[in-house]
Structure 1
Amino acid sequence: MKTILIVGASRGLGRALAEEHLSRGWHVIATVRDPAALRDAPPGKLEVHTLDVTDWAGVDAFGRALKDRSLDVLFVNAGIADDKRPIGEVQPDVFARLMLTNALAPLRLIDRLVHLVPREGTVAVMSSGLGSVAGNGTGGWEAYRMSKAALNTGLKSIAARRAAEGRTYIATAPGWVRTEMGGDEAALSIEQSIPRVTDMLEKRAGAGGVAYVNYDGKDLPW
């Protein structure tokens, strides 16, 4: 039985990712902020831990609790959105919270837990198509874009620094999905996104290197 750790599985895309892997027979280790978040999850091998990714001491304690485990996939999904204002109108405390939650916290956690992932394993983050610098032709969502671009850059840096250790690193763009964060007007349902994200992860397992990939398996420009 393969094991995936999903950080940020309380709701939305993270919860769907946990449920999809349970349905495929994986052992799922899921972190949530609300201990009751996954109590009605479908049957399967599910292990739930309470964690806030910006609780630095809590992350270290969580790492110690997993010190003897092996993960086929480490997937960090935790993230927040902003209010879409132009960058000149974004309050500094809002920007700082975005960068801490969407960039520093996931990357810091990965760098502390990556040793649990063997050479043939995968490390993934839930990025966004809005994180593409080359693909930004419209502007908008500027603070959020910056946080996801920072996440992508940081993942690529970790992959480069640890290249000799093997592993596959993937920044995943799930598409614009109808969730609490994505809104009701989003183009995709969760059912149209997450199973295809999971297919992509399975297809790219063991490939090595680092990639920025859309939910449909296509590479995105950094």
Structure 2
Amino acid sequence: MLRTFRELNSLAQQHSNLHILQIDLKDIDKYDQFVGQVESIVQDNGLNVLFNNAGISPKSTRLGFVKGDDLVETFVTNTVAPIMLTKALVPLLKKAAEVNASVPIGPQKACIVNMSSILGSIEANSDGGLYAYRTSKSALNAATKSMSIDLKPNNIMAVVLHPGWVRTDMGGSKAPLSVEQSCAKMVQTVMGLSDVHNGTFLQYDGKQLQW
């Protein structure tokens, strides 16, 4: 975590348009304060893209080892936080959509991207286990679908994105994708989003996945 902060601070020193804001996503009572900080940066332009990325996965993966505390903590981080933060930031997303009224629906207007996982796919689950992680991501998928419907009248779109199996602390060293490979493809996919993608479950490279 400290290494990540150092890297971010280094980038911020090189790019004046990069702003680093810190928030504990489990502290929902602080969301309004965070929104105020974001608004002070984006001002009348609003927020074009909200990327909900935070996620955890406990070690108690099999049914016999599942712990209630792990389930609750995982749901708060992986499902509750993205829903509540999106709710808090909707006014800024609406503002961006209004400011960019002449722009087609997509990231140049207003877009919510919720980072999920193929492990949240019910159809693709052939291995079982991972109760906390799978169910929290399935719930996030369902929430994103609702967002895509509820916010469509405001010209705000919402999609679910699977980053692939990536070599991170969570993905492990055997994962086939590097962080750079996954991120480059995800940026390309997000920038190519349009109205036809609203409410879909996409892989990092743009392939549509099964719910």
1:52, 1:59 within 8 Å by CA — same for their partners in 2?
no
Q: CA deviation at 1:85?
A: 2.1
The verdict on how the C-alpha distance between 1:100 and 1:145 changes in structure 2, with shifts beyond 3 A counting, is same
Higher Rg of the two aligned structures: 2
CA distance in 1 between partners of 2:18 and 2:155 (Å): 28
The verdict on how the C-alpha distance between 1:94 and 1:84 changes in structure 2, with shifts beyond 3 A counting, is closer
Q: CA deviation at 1:206?
A: 5.3
Aligned length: 192
CA distance in 2 between partners of 1:97 and 1:128 (Å): 18
1:166, 1:209 within 8 Å by CA — same for their partners in 2?
no
The verdict on how the C-alpha distance between 1:208 and 1:176 changes in structure 2, with shifts beyond 3 A counting, is closer
Q: CA deviation at 1:201?
A: 0.3
TM-score (norm 1): 0.79
CA distance in 2 between partners of 1:115 and 1:212 (Å): 24
1:57 corresponds to which residue? 29
Question: In the alignment, which of 54, 58, 66 is matched to residue 78 of structure 1?
Answer: 54
CA distance in 1 between partners of 2:210 and 2:86 (Å): 23
- SS across alignment from 1:217: coil
Gaps of 5+ in 2: 98-108
User: For 1:157-193, what per-residue CA distance to the aligned partner results, in whole angstroms no more than 9, with x for missing partners?
Assistant: 1222222112221111000100011111112111221
Higher normalized helix content (fraction of residues): 2
CA distance in 2 between partners of 1:54 and 1:195 (Å): 29
Kindly indicate whether residue 82 of structure 2 is the aligned counterpart of residue 112 of structure 1: no
| Identity between Structure 1 and Structure 2 (%) | 34
Gaps of 5+ in 1: 1-9, 16-33
Give the alignment of 1:2-81 within 5 angstroms: 38-41=8-11, 43-44=14-15, 45-67=17-39, 68=43, 70-81=46-57
Higher normalized strand content (fraction of residues): 1
CA distance in 1 between partners of 2:195 and 2:9 (Å): 32
Give the alignment of 1:183-222 within 5 angstroms: 183-205=172-194, 207=196, 209-222=198-211
CA distance in 2 between partners of 1:125 and 1:114 (Å): 14
- SS across alignment from 1:187: coil
- SS across alignment from 1:59: helix
- SS across alignment from 2:199: strand
1:121, 1:205 within 8 Å by CA — same for their partners in 2?
no
Q: CA deviation at 1:208?
A: 6.1
- SS across alignment from 2:159: strand
CA distance in 2 between partners of 1:208 and 1:221 (Å): 14
The RMSD of aligned alpha carbons is 2.1
1:171, 1:213 within 8 Å by CA — same for their partners in 2?
yes
